Amino acid sequence: MNKIVYICVGTCKAEISEEQYKGGLTKCGGEGCTLKGHDFAKRLKCGECGMIFKEEENHTH
């Protein structure tokens, strides 16, 4: 089953859970990251293989 995660698409590639995002962690704080201070992007993470993909993308095995 896929789960919602939030990621930084900058150089740090940080990944946080939906709970962390809803708890107020909405922007990247990675020192040296090219997108520090920018909002995390919502993505889906495959529970089977761990691949992260956009909601509009189809992911199959």
For residue 40, name the pLDDT band (cuts at 50, 70, 90): very high
pLDDT at 2: 95
pLDDT at 35: 98
Asked, for residue 58, whether it belongs to a domain, the answer is no
Asked, for residue 55, whether it belongs to a domain, the answer is no
- Asked if residue 34 lies in contact with residue 24, where contact means CB atoms within 8 angstroms, the answer is no
**Domain total in the chain:** 1
pLDDT one-digit tens code per residue, 9-39: 999 999 999 999 999 999 999 999 999 999 9
Asked, for residue 61, whether it belongs to a domain, the answer is no
All residues at 6 or more sequence positions from 24 whose CB lies less than 8 Å from its CB, including other chains: none
Asked, for residue 29, whether it belongs to a domain, the answer is yes
Q: Which domain holds residue 10?
A: 3-50
What amino acid occupies position 58? N
Asked, for residue 15, whether it belongs to a domain, the answer is yes
Query: What φ, ψ does residue 22 adopt, rounded to 5°?
Result: -65, -25
Flag whether the pTM goes above 0.85.
yes
Asked, for residue 60, whether it belongs to a domain, the answer is no
What amino acid occupies position 20? Q
pLDDT at 50: 96
Asked, for residue 13, whether it belongs to a domain, the answer is yes
